[in-house]
Structure 1
Amino acid sequence: MNVGASSACFFPLETEKALDRVLSLGFKQTEVFFNTSSELEEPFVKDLRQNADDHGAKIISVHPFSSALESNCIFAEYERRYNDFIGLYQKHFHAAAMLGAGNVVIHGSVAKQKRDLSDEFYFERFAKLVELGKKEGVNVCQENVVRFRSESVDFLKRMRDYLGSDFHMVFDIKQSIRCGYDPFFVAEELKNEISHIHISDNSPQSDCMPPGKGTFDFKRLFRLMDDSNYQGGYVIEIYSKGYDVAKELEESKRFFDKIIL
């Protein structure tokens, strides 16, 4: 088992430079967080893949830059706007396939929209994303995110029931806390559907810290997921504000090297 790191940790550094920083720290798994549409063009994507290959690393997931648009452009009733924007997700899925990444992270709709749309409408739209992802051989995954519909475990269970085997989840530790849940409760309830995990540490004072600096029991999480035959990856996702990110990631890598046998 390897623990990787997301290029998002170095935001607002340009994506290719952020990825290079992650790879240069020796991480063998990573997530690419795209930051603008030009980065989805094939020459740019091929350069990212080549850099990962040169470092002997694997890009395991992709995070679209357009998460903030999804409520109005994907999970909303205006059909023409949906048709105009769905191509952006097709490009993300194609980029993920080119990178060899198996998972694409979706935030979805905010919890409270101007118009009260049904869960079924949301699930149907998500199913369309899933089908586009399948054509590229990638999983389209729902992340649990505070202030989004996916903040609710009950919502995620209904989504699982609707999508069946097409339901894949990105489990985020810090987001679980921000949503008011014990992360182990979320992981236990949805362990069989989790395809990708964003990790960070926490303490009573902070919900997002570099791994190894807080009180989160990572060994317990690894045991829980191993017992459920988890086949996905673990990627550190912390924010650059307030941290010397390279130093913290280097220390987190040493922390995991000690506790992972």
Structure 2
Amino acid sequence: MEIGLSSAVFYPEVNTEDTLEIIKSLGFNTAEIFINSFLECEDDFVDKLLVKKHELNLNINSVHALSSIFEPFLFDEYKRRRDEMLEYFKKICRTGRKLGATCYTFHGMKYKNFDNINKDLICDIYKKLTYIAGENDIKLAQENVSWCMSSNFDYLKFLNDKNIENLFFTFDIKQAYKANKDPYQYIKIMNEKLVNFHINDRDNENVCLLPLRGNVDYKRIFRELKNVNYNGNLIIEVYRDNFFSYNEISDCKKKLEKFL
């Protein structure tokens, strides 16, 4: 288990290709790469990222994408729209494979009433998505996201019960609190299918803070992770306005490592 850093923390000030050097300079050896535009999925661009990855000896844990633009429409009732969005999904998967990522952090379907969704269609779509991800040697890691169906415990239990091959989970602390849900319940539901973890903090005034800056009970978080045999990495993912200087991030890493 390592403490990693998401390139998303530098959005929108730093271009994706320039974040790798910053991540390494702050003492991180593991990163999640956030794809901020589809231009960043083009072969020439990904090849440049790959060269930097090797030069820096940086491990790419996972890829994330500008999800709100296309992921919800992968579940649209209109097939032509689904098929078009699927081409973008394939681009992200191919990018993840080239970068050597182990998983794709996935937001997915926009929130709806669980009783009214087309469950058969959703299962069929997940099977198609997980198959495509598997073809690219990466795991599809459904993240709990406050504005998505994945914030709903019943929805996650439903997905779990279907035993869809190559479907796993990413847990994000801040997203649990933004959804006003018990974070520990998410970990219990995801259980041993949890393969990626976004670590951050919060308090009564702030929805997101650097880890150990708020009131999240990290001792219990790590205890719950141990209970589900989690052995993946912990990826710091916060917003750019959650820190003033980059040194705050490296200091945070050192403090978190005491929990490992």
TM-score in terms of structure 1 length? 0.91
1:43 aligns with 2:83: no
- Measure the CA separation in 2 of the matches of 1:217 and 1:28: 26
1:27 aligns with 2:21: no
Distance change >3 Å, CA 242–CA 173, structure 1 → 2: closer
Instruction: Describe the superposition over 1:6-49 as per-residue Cα deviations: whole angstroms up to 9, x where unpaired.
Output: 00000012111123222221111110000111111222212222
Q: Which runs of 5+ in 1 are unaligned?
A: none
CA contact (8 A) 2:71 2:85 kept: no
Query: Corresponding residue for 1:85?
Result: 85
CA contact (8 A) 1:9 1:245 kept: no
Query: Corresponding residue for 1:186?
Result: 186
CA contact (8 A) 2:71 2:89 kept: no
Query: Corresponding residue for 1:131?
Result: 131
Query: Corresponding residue for 1:119?
Result: 119
Distance change >3 Å, CA 32–CA 93, structure 1 → 2: same
AA partner of residue 64 (structure 2): H
Aligned residues: 257
Query: Corresponding residue for 1:53?
Result: 54
Q: Which runs of 5+ in 2 are unaligned?
A: none
Instruction: Describe the superposition over 1:72-130 as per-residue Cα deviations: whole angstroms up to 9, x where unpaired.
Output: x31102212222221111111111011110110111111139xx541332222122110
Q: How does 1:145-184 map to 2 (within 5 A)?
A: 145-184=145-184
Query: Corresponding residue for 1:251?
Result: 251
- Measure the CA separation in 2 of the matches of 1:99 and 1:176: 29
Please report the RMSD computed on the Cα atoms of aligned residues, expressed in angstroms: 1.8
Instruction: Describe the superposition over 1:51-76 as per-residue Cα deviations: whole angstroms up to 9, x where unpaired.
Output: 223222200100012433222x3110
Secondary structure, in 3 states, of the residue corresponding to 1:50? helix
Q: CA deviation at 1:4?
A: 0.6
Identity %: 31
AA partner of residue 19 (structure 1): L
Query: Corresponding residue for 1:17?
Result: 18
- Measure the CA separation in 2 of the matches of 1:81 and 1:66: 15
Secondary structure, in 3 states, of the residue corresponding to 2:80? helix
Q: CA deviation at 1:165?
A: 4.3
AA partner of residue 49 (structure 2): L
Distance change >3 Å, CA 170–CA 252, structure 1 → 2: same
